[in-house]
Amino acid sequence: MSPTVDTAVPAGEAILRRQRIRESAARTYARSFPIVPVRANGMTVEGADGRRYLDCLSGAGTLALGHNHPVVLEAIRRTLDSGAPLHLLDLATAEKDDFTTALFASLPPAFAAGARIHFCGPAGTDAVEAALKLMQTATGRRGALAFTGGYHGMTAGALAVTGNVAVKAPLPGGGEVTRLPYPYPYRCPFGVGERGAELSAAYTERLLDDPSGGVVPPAAMILEAVQGEGGVVPAPDGWLREMRRITAERGIPLIVDEVQTGVGRTGAMWAVEHSGIVPDAMVLSKAIGGSLPLAVVVYREQYDGWRPGAHTGTFRGNTLAMAAGAATLRYVEANGLVARAELVGARITARLDGLKARVPAVGDVRGRGLMIGVELVDPDGEPDSCGALPPDPQLAIRVREACLERGLIVELGGRHDAVLRLLPPLTIGDEQTEAVLDRLCEAVETAAAGPRR
């Protein structure tokens, strides 16, 4: 029997209705954006209803070059036309060799020299699992150091080092993790603002050295140089250097999660380059696949103590994703998109600082490169010891809706889902930048001036 087609409603609405009936309650972005995309080019997405949107979500940072960039499509077509096998487990292929060459050429030289790469399952969370297992194997230890506000994925080990309580609470514990305070000046865990980074470093060092501190020597420390899901919170460069010093002096491997920050997103090819630190492992995914699923962990060869098959999987490196990823990495480098991200990001931040000056509901504007966050607050609430006003997640939802009405896709994040997150493609043009800012500022001002729910 053929499926029943409801011709009484537009196709897009029918698809959305079937999605609500068929898909799990865990769906997220579909709830935020009730649209059915049918075409996409660059940062423009067209819905089934014919409306067009500027996409500042970019697949949660996956689309470094935007949707369907010609260099990505050409790499995919060339690979398909070549007759290359699309699935070979972890066998060597010309496409894998070329991707690895392009990736290593993009990494900080001090890290790339002598590094090893492990191809993981296609999601970043599996690369986090691999990195944790790698360091557990190398050190013979089990615990991990992780940070408040951190996000590393949804599988067991990655979830254990993730900070979000709401997603962890319904599940059994995922391992021994010591939670450390991440510098967040606007909502400082110590209540002292900018000085919080200094106190965080001092607390970490003293805790690890305290024989009664309760921390068994861990297998690794894992952190993000800019917390994405945690609210677009950049770590100070000096603090990152302190974490590197503290871990190096105590023989604790340092894992940096660059899943969202990598491939030019922060105004450096890799976010660790801002501080100059050399980690022991980097977790990479999202943009490295050129819009297709791909995830790897790159690490210093001294930790390569795995036995064959110690971390495996059927889909360890997709041929098309490796071809698209290599093309993306080279295009970003050749076309100055890293510097472009820094320049455009500064322009966006400056305009949003102006919005903050005239709209009291904008509590903080922060970020690095084209990874920008706008924290929305209740201007009538009581400020905390740092002067930060209470977060206003309901206002954030209204702003997101107002943005969508104006043809702009932005998503929320942060500790209370009150941070507007901007992740436009690195290829965003000047006119598009102004259009994004015009729509966003108008949406914020309109929502903030309207009646409270």
**pLDDT of 406 above 50:** yes
Residue tagged 């021994």 (tokens): 176
Per-residue tokens: 30: 């579909």
> What's the CA gap between 282 and 289, in Å, rounded?
16
Least confident span in 22-31, 51-60, 130-139, 163-172: 163-172
pLDDT in tens, 320-369: 999 999 999 999 999 999 999 999 999 999 999 999 999 999 999 999 99
pLDDT at residue 173, as a whole number: 62
pTM, to two decimals: 0.94
Determine the distance from the C-alpha atom of residue 9 to the mean position of all C-alpha atoms in its chain, rounded to a whole number. Answer: 37
> What's the CA gap between 258 and 286, in Å, rounded?
9
At residue 146, φ and ψ (nearest 5 deg) are: -140, 175
Question: Residue 293 in contact with residue 320, Cβ under 8 Å?
Answer: no
Residue 168 banded pLDDT, cuts 50, 70, 90 = low
pLDDT at residue 2, as a whole number: 44
> 307 or 452: which carries more pLDDT confidence?
307
Question: Residue 352 in contact with residue 372, Cβ under 8 Å?
Answer: yes
pLDDT mean across residues, the chain: 94
**pLDDT of 3 above 60:** no
Per DSSP, the three-state class of 167 is helix
Count the neighbouring beta carbons within 10 Å of the beta carbon of residue 59: 16
**pLDDT of 172 above 80:** no
Per DSSP, the three-state class of 221 is strand
Residue tagged 């590094």 (tokens): 115
pLDDT in tens, 70-88: 999 999 999 999 999 999 9
**pLDDT of 1 above 50:** no
DSSP conformation letters of 64-113: TT-BT-HHHHHHHHHHHHHT--S--TT---HHHHHHHHHHHHHS-HHHHT
Question: Residue 204 in contact with residue 249, Cβ under 8 Å?
Answer: no
**pLDDT of 29 above 90:** no
pLDDT in tens, 90-108: 999 999 999 999 999 999 9
